[in-house]
Amino acid sequence: MKKTALVFLALCLGFPVLAERFVPRSDLIPKVLEVVHQGYVDQNRVQPMKMLEGALEHLSSLVAPVMTQVTTKGGLVSIEIKVDQHSKTIETQAPKTVKDLNKILQEVSYFVKLNLEKGAKPEEVDYALINGFLRRLDPHTMLLVPEVYSDFSTSTTGNFGGVGMMIGLRKGDLTVIAPIDGTPASRAGLRAKDRIVQIDDESTINMPLTDAVDKLRGEIGTQVVIYIERDGLSAPKKVVLTRDLIKITSVESHVFEENGKRVGYIQLKTFQKNTIEELNEALDEMDYDLKSFRGVILDLRNNPGGLLAQAIQVSDRFLNKGVIVSTAGLDAASIQTYKAHWFSDMTETPLIVLINSGSASASEIVAAALKKNQRAVVMGTQSFGKGSVQQVIPLPDGSALKITTQKYLTPGNLSIQSVGVSPHIEVDPYYVSEDFVRVTPQAADGNEDSLEENFKEWGDKDQAEAPEQRAYYLYQEELKKLGTEEEEEPAETKEAKLEQLKKDFLVQSSLQILLKNEKNDFAGLLKEGHRYMTQEEKEQEKKLTAKFGEFKTDWSVVETKGAPKLEALSWVELKKGEAWEKWAGPVPAKSQVRLYLSVKNQGAAVSRLIATSKSKNPVFDNRQFAFGSLKSGESKSWFVPAEIGEGAISRNDKVVFEFTDASEKELASYHSALAIAENIPPTFAYRLSFKDQGPDTKGNGNGLAEPGETLAVEVEVTNQSTGTSGPLTLLLKNGEGERVFLKKGRLSLPALKSGESGKASFLLEYKSKPLDGNLDFSFDLLDGTYPLASVNEKLKLSLDAKDYQVSNQLPSFTLENFSNTSGQKKVRIKGQVSDLDGVKDVYAYVENKKVYYQNFMDLKEQKKVEFSFEVDLGEDNNRVILLSRDQANVAGQKTLYIRYEAAK
């Protein structure tokens, strides 16, 4: 391809005209479309016009300077495309086949690539178009771009060449989370919390986690050198690691022992190529054939699935007869059924399977097979509900197509699609604390059924089995206060994981059921499970009633006659100093509030009365207010605390309170509204100056960057708004690999008041000259309190530039007559964008759909430009995101919320 391009260019240079950029035809789009046409599970979903709309919408959303608009009339379609200041209209017949669709997308792809800004990656245009039309098929069919496909392949094969340690970012430092036993990292003595400061010749300061992983992985037998900092060491320690085959473990196990009796615990984290081998190893280590062995707990909670073949083999390991699963593809009549084999020796060992809403796909196949064949007692909560099978097809450019080719059916030829597997015994956690209450099963809002374009029509919902028993337990662990951002350290050591298992109510309940069980058959185990959970629920009832007693709430169940008549009222209290004051207006950002709900019962007595809030504002959504028993004429109030962040954005949200009683019967609902008023955010001006002389530098002072020098990058930041910023973090990221070594690339500045400035300096070693004559960096100015005020700018330090400096500030927005509420379905948003160096463009999204793009490069005056566009409002609150880029492609952003209020 490169030789062809050179010949073409040489020919063009023979004429006295400017050569147009060479844009090759996309080979990827037709390949993907052909696979969809030949192998997609449901050809009725392959609707070219709908796919075209999805492709164009996704392209507009992902590529900043692109805006598309589609109109149809009769059998014709008109497509308007804007790329920066370039525009084109494509008028053609509406596509009826994938061949028609390919023809249109080729023309779109060509025009967009032809006019892309310098430095943009043309392949990303095709990726966006392809994933756009695939999203209109179902939520699981997608193009995996090369980087994602590489990680996906590693996760499914279960091994790779590496050093064997889990790493993560802790307070900005690349940190060892846990070395894996028996690997080079473990043998070298690396420990959890070791900080990796250098990999080979490259500093890890501000190195993206994915880059660090790539640098540590490699061919087996090759070496990588790292330097670590550890508490107690006076200097970084050099560690040489020889890469080895690292296996990703999908199985973790433990044996519980109590009074001479033993129970095995096996957690399947995913289904990858070696899962069945790992499972067999775990079972062998448990000595499951000894008399003292009382059963197995198979934990599938939060297992997202994986390989179908592994799910079949895992199921087969515990079965000796019966259907495991059936699959059906394009031809629904061509069902392939997988049955258990007779030679399994685990068919009489008592088995309990644990599932929850995070158990999906392959996990659901196993859970359903063991449940339907009456091999295991299933406990937990309803599973995810993914009943489709995907095939991954590698593509020539290193990407891969993940495409839905089959649906699977559980024993009895039932689909759990968008339904899930229900447990025999449903067990839900309840929470009662000063900060948070949850005394009903959690709604499965994020399950398969909530995904767009899911195969809801497949699910056999009318034949879904309800749990035989419902139980709950009072979660006793101290809850973190809502709104805290501190990351919880994951339990990675064996000791920490065992401590978690000892506190896990479902694991411990399953353990006791197996220890107390005297029968080896399914019926006996299920009976013991019901008996134990019935007894345990009585204990949990006592705990729950006692806990509510601490809040002077009667949680007993009383006999009721007739219906209650509820009158409700809500209000907000704001913390002022140490006192709480009733607050009538918008709640200011950076405040502690209490949302009160008071209810008076004017009807028959009611017990276990609760109200659950519904709101688009996550701070006030899905919060519960517990009132307990209310006799006729009685009233009671309950509040939920909340913290409104300092960087909260102005909004006005409807809050609906839905009342239910002990029978979970919906009694009434009450509507209110809650407004938040934002603080004035900071606006930053900044200057970066590269210096080869001064403190900690090593240079000749001629103002030029030269190999062998240690350079300082002085940063000055000024807050130009009337508001106060949060504490600032400054990052300088290296784009030159081993040619530059960052010695100091992460800086902090205190919060800046209006007009205040702060200074700090990065430090770097310039080692060798880049081929293009430029040193590439990325500068980030991060305000964690006001993230929309943060800055990212790509820097190119020309080696010919003397005393190189960069100064800039974000484009700023001014709105005209804006309101957070509207009684009209259509709203016009208008205003101005200002930037000292000139505004390049302005664009806007409603939710995730781009609705406006305007390029201003042709204007003579670009320092202040005007924008205006209409928005069609959906029900309730609508999020509008405004963005603007300046001449250096630095983007400013403003988020608006508009709630539609229908006239009453």
The full DSSP string for 855-886 is: E-TT-S--SEEEEEEEEE--SEEEEEEEEEEE
Q: What kind and span of H or E run contains 100?
A: helix 98-114
**Boundary (domain end) residue, out of 102, 137, 172:** 137
The answer to whether 842 touches 830, Cβ cutoff 8 Å, is no
The domain spanning residue 669 has which CATH number?
2.60.40.10
Q: State whether 702 and 788 are in the same domain.
A: yes
Q: 572-603 in b/e burial notation, b at 16+ Cβ within 10 A?
A: bbbeeeeeeeebeebbbbebebbbbbbbbbeb
The answer to whether 223 touches 243, Cβ cutoff 8 Å, is yes
Residues 6 or more apart from 742 whose CB is under 8 A from it?
203, 205, 206, 732, 734, 762, 763, 764
Give the pLDDT band (50/70/90) at residue 482: very low
Q: Is residue 400 part of a domain?
A: no
Q: Is residue 166 part of a domain?
A: yes
**Residues 678-713: pLDDT tens digits?**
999 999 999 999 999 999 999 999 999 999 999 999
pLDDT beyond 90 at 118? no
pLDDT beyond 90 at 396? yes
Q: State whether 423 and 350 are in the same domain.
A: yes
The per-residue pLDDT for 192 is: 86
Tally of structural domains, the chain: 6
Domain boundaries, position 218 = 159-247
For helices 308-317 and 362-372, give the axis angle rounded to 10 degrees: 30
The per-residue pLDDT for 3 is: 37
Q: State whether 768 and 846 are in the same domain.
A: no
N- to C-terminal Cα distance for the chain?
65
Q: 631-651 in b/e burial notation, b at 16+ Cβ within 10 A?
A: eeeeebebbbbbbbbbbbbbb
**Structural tokens at position 750:** 């205190």
Sort 785 into a burial class: Cβ within 10 Å, 0-12 / 13-18 / 19+: buried
CA distance 305 to 309: 11
The per-residue pLDDT for 348 is: 86
Maximum alpha-carbon separation in the chain: 96
Give CA angle at 545 (539, 549), nearest 5°. 140
pLDDT beyond 50 at 300? yes
Query: Of 21-30, 154-163, 367-376, which has the strongest mean pLDDT?
Result: 367-376
Q: Is residue 468 part of a domain?
A: yes
Q: What is the pLDDT averaged over residues 197-224?
A: 89
Q: What kind and span of H or E run contains 508?
A: helix 505-516
Q: What are residue 285's phi and psi, to 5 degrees?
A: -70, -20
Give the pLDDT band (50/70/90) at residue 182: confident
Q: Is residue 344 part of a domain?
A: yes
The answer to whether 235 touches 228, Cβ cutoff 8 Å, is no
Q: State whether 102 and 50 are in the same domain.
A: yes
- Which of 67, 72, 66, 114 is closest to 93 using CA atoms? 72
**Residues 579-631: pLDDT tens digits?**
999 999 999 999 999 999 999 999 999 999 999 999 999 999 999 999 999 99
CA distance 880 to 831: 14
Q: State whether 212 and 95 are in the same domain.
A: no
How many angstroms from the chain centroid is the CA of residue 165?
23
Give the pLDDT band (50/70/90) at residue 426: very high
Query: Is 733 a residue of the active site?
Result: no
Q: What is the pLDDT averaged over residues 814-837?
A: 95
The per-residue pLDDT for 830 is: 97
Q: State whether 691 and 739 are in the same domain.
A: yes
How many angstroms from the chain centroid is the CA of residue 331?
35
pLDDT beyond 70 at 211? yes
The per-residue pLDDT for 21 is: 63
Give the pLDDT band (50/70/90) at residue 777: very high
Q: Which residue is catalytic, options 60, 109, 250, 361?
A: 361
Q: 321-338 in b/e burial notation, b at 16+ Cβ within 10 A?
A: eebbbbbbbeeeeeeeeb
Q: State whether 411 and 443 are in the same domain.
A: yes
Give the pLDDT band (50/70/90) at residue 856: very high
Q: State whether 85 and 186 are in the same domain.
A: no
Q: What are residue 843's phi and psi, to 5 degrees?
A: -145, 165
CA distance 272 to 306: 6
CA distance 59 to 829: 23
The per-residue pLDDT for 332 is: 63
How many angstroms from the chain centroid is the CA of residue 263?
36
CA distance 571 to 638: 11
Name the residue with higher pLDDT: 58 or 156.
58
**Boundary (domain end) residue, out of 105, 137, 169:** 137
The per-residue pLDDT for 622 is: 94
Q: Is residue 80 part of a domain?
A: yes
528: helix, strand or coil: helix
Give the pLDDT band (50/70/90) at residue 171: confident
Q: Is residue 412 part of a domain?
A: yes
How many angstroms from the chain centroid is the CA of residue 564?
42
Q: State whether 292 and 435 are in the same domain.
A: yes
**Structural tokens at position 567:** 């009158």
Q: State whether 617 and 645 are in the same domain.
A: yes
pLDDT beyond 70 at 15? no
Q: Is residue 552 part of a domain?
A: no
CA distance 147 to 127: 12
Write down the mean pLDDT value for the chain.
91
Amino acid, single-letter form, for residue 859 = L
CA distance 747 to 728: 8
Q: State whether 426 and 279 are in the same domain.
A: yes
pLDDT beyond 90 at 576? yes
Residue 304 burial (CB count, 10 A): 15
101: helix, strand or coil: helix
Residues 6 or more apart from 534 whose CB is under 8 A from it?
469, 471
Query: Is 743 a residue of the active site?
Result: no
Q: What kind and span of H or E run contains 175?
A: strand 173-179
The domain spanning residue 506 has which CATH number?
3.90.226.10
Q: Is residue 149 part of a domain?
A: no
Name the residue with higher pLDDT: 876 or 778.
778
Give the pLDDT band (50/70/90) at residue 20: low
Share of the chain above pLDDT 70, in %: 95
pLDDT beyond 80 at 483? no
The answer to whether 367 touches 353, Cβ cutoff 8 Å, is yes
How many angstroms from the chain centroid is the CA of residue 834?
34
Give CA angle at 851 (850, 856), nearest 5°. 95
Residue 152 burial (CB count, 10 A): 14
Q: State whether 749 and 608 are in the same domain.
A: no
**Boundary (domain end) residue, out of 748, 780, 808:** 808
CA distance 786 to 803: 32
Residues 6 or more apart from 291 whose CB is under 8 A from it?
none
Give CA angle at 378 (374, 384), nearest 5°. 120
686: helix, strand or coil: strand
Q: Which residue is catalytic, options 386, 547, 840, 894?
A: 386
Q: What kind and span of H or E run contains 389?
A: strand 388-394
Sort 156 into a burial class: Cβ within 10 Å, 0-12 / 13-18 / 19+: middle
Amino acid, single-letter form, for residue 35 = V
The per-residue pLDDT for 675 is: 96
**Structural tokens at position 652:** 């006005």
Identify the residue whose tokens are 């599932």.
355
401: helix, strand or coil: strand
**Structural tokens at position 200:** 């080979």
Give the pLDDT band (50/70/90) at residue 2: very low
Residue 807 burial (CB count, 10 A): 12
Q: 343-378 in b/e burial notation, b at 16+ Cβ within 10 A?
A: ebebbebbbbbbbbbbbbbbbbbbbbbbbbbebbbb
Give the pLDDT band (50/70/90) at residue 491: low
**Structural tokens at position 486:** 């501190």
